[in-house]
Amino acid sequence: MKRIRSDLIIENGTVLTVDENDSIIERGAIAISDGKIVGVDREDAINGKFSAAKRLDAKGGIIMPGLINTHTHLAMSLLRGIADDVSLDSWLKNYIFPLEEQFMNKDSVYVGSLLSCAEMALSGTTTFCDMYFFEKEVGRAAEKIGMRAVIGEGIVASGKNEEQIWQKKKELTTELMKKFNRSELISIGVKPHSPYTCSRKILQEAKKFSKENGLLYVIHLAETEKEFSDFKKSAEMTPTQYLEKLDVLDNSTLAAHCVWMEDGDLDIFKKHEVKISHCPQSNMKLGSGVAPIVKFLREGIVVSLGTDGAASNNTLDMFSEMKTAALLAKVNNHEPQAFSAKEAVRMATIKGAEALRKENEIGSLEVDKKADVIVVGLDKPHLTPIYDYYSHLVYCANGSDVKTSIVNGGVVMSDRKIKNADLADIIKKANFIATKIKKGAPARTT
């Protein structure tokens, strides 16, 4: 029988499909053609059916879907570690907003985004969902490194200039839609920052625009106790009830954080099929609280995983985020079985795809899906021996164990090297910007 030609076969590994049955294929392989997965099977079956222009030896490692980070502010990697040990309110007002005003421009956002894309490619993330300014530059950086992304202008608009700001943001979003219209990697979202930084009218206008254009609606929600109690005081409702009242919640809404939620808020999420981006490390670091993810999962709400910006994390390593998510859920529920390693891996892969409404394209290794694949090496002392793949991925592995990252069938990182850009040059440029930021930054309090 004549074998079907494929572009690439990844072989000699264990394939963790993260499909509906969580199938694991020992001595497995996958075949890739035209950016898509065309075969997932035992190695002998794949080699019997396909020939390959190229082969990649997984060397006994894990072949799995690329990780999906559903909440980022990429360019904030330039502010990594600038202010620790402060509350979200003070962090934003005293550090982040003034520094962004002074130092974040088209060029710095491009460099910061390149830096973050490189960090993600090196730690096994293949897709991210970003909210910031100058998002065209974020899209350019993603395309340069070869990452998949949902980009969108962060919208902060309330008060007397709100209409002007919204018109400008609408224009920018339309520009993004045009610029990346044919991109295989980039899609666009509408991203009002939060219920407390956008007026009622802007939140609704943004929803209308996102619906008209079939775009994801991404928002920070119920992140801190302050936000929660302010809404209780001023509107006599929770932030979630407030958004429901504005009629902006639906199945294309992705809410980040969702820490301060009443039980009734979960019913609202369920009713409107709102998806969540859980950001445990950022919530812990800013002292915001613990999102009730075990409750969310019991209610069947889609929970994905995000790192938030590197300035409040302080890395974009999704392996470390998976571990934190699992440990935090266990300690918060006083119950070790409250949340499993398998659930953490699903949260960082297929649930991320669902949160971005891309579950038919990415998030698992299945025939006809896009070839976003990573290989995790296991030939390390901290990964030896191995009894359970999920357990190792969540509790033992870290981003630097990823040996290869592939997006849309293209290798973006191999043998710990970024393929499509000069990493040393990116680091040099990021450090140059940081020397200027250092001079403008307020003194650290610790």
Which residues contribute to the site for Zn ion (CB under 5 A)? 308
Least distance from Zn ion to the Cβ atom of residue 94, Å: 17
User: Cα–Cα distance between 50 and 5 in angstroms, integer?
Assistant: 6
Least distance from Zn ion to the Cβ atom of residue 233, Å: 24
Task: Identify the helix (H) or strand (E) that includes residue 227.
Answer: helix 225-235
Residue 158 neighbours by CB distance under 10 Å:
17
- First vs last C-alpha separation in the chain: 69
256 vs 413 by CB, closer to Zn ion: 256
**Any idea what the Cα angle at residue 302 is, between residues 151 and 248, rounded to 5°?**
60
Task: Identify the helix (H) or strand (E) that includes residue 328.
Answer: helix 318-333
Q: In 76-188, where does DSSP find H-type helix?
A: 88-90, 97-103, 106-122, 135-145, 162-179
Least distance from Zn ion to the Cβ atom of residue 154, Å: 9
Cis check: omega of the bond before 105, within 30 degrees of 0? no
Least distance from Zn ion to the Cβ atom of residue 311, Å: 10
11 vs 308 by CB, closer to Zn ion: 308
User: Cα–Cα distance between 357 and 393 in angstroms, integer?
Assistant: 25
Residue of minimal CB distance from Zn ion? Answer: 308
User: Cα–Cα distance between 65 and 413 in angstroms, integer?
Assistant: 14
406 to 25, 290, 398, 412: CA distances (angstroms) = 19, 33, 18, 6
Quick check: 95 and 86 in contact, CB under 8 A? Answer: yes
Least distance from Zn ion to the Cβ atom of residue 72, Å: 8
73 vs 207 by CB, closer to Zn ion: 73
Least distance from Zn ion to the Cβ atom of residue 194, Å: 9
User: Cα–Cα distance between 309 and 131 in angstroms, integer?
Assistant: 9
69 vs 349 by CB, closer to Zn ion: 69
13 vs 306 by CB, closer to Zn ion: 306
135 vs 308 by CB, closer to Zn ion: 308
7 vs 308 by CB, closer to Zn ion: 308
- Backbone dihedral region of 3: left (phi > 0), alpha (psi from -120 to 50 degrees) or beta? beta
Least distance from Zn ion to the Cβ atom of residue 235, Å: 22
Cis check: omega of the bond before 385, within 30 degrees of 0? yes
**Cβ partners under 8 Å of residue 17, min gap 6:** 23, 24, 25, 40, 65, 364, 365, 366
Least distance from Zn ion to the Cβ atom of residue 71, Å: 6
308 vs 343 by CB, closer to Zn ion: 308
Least distance from Zn ion to the Cβ atom of residue 156, Å: 12
149 vs 412 by CB, closer to Zn ion: 149
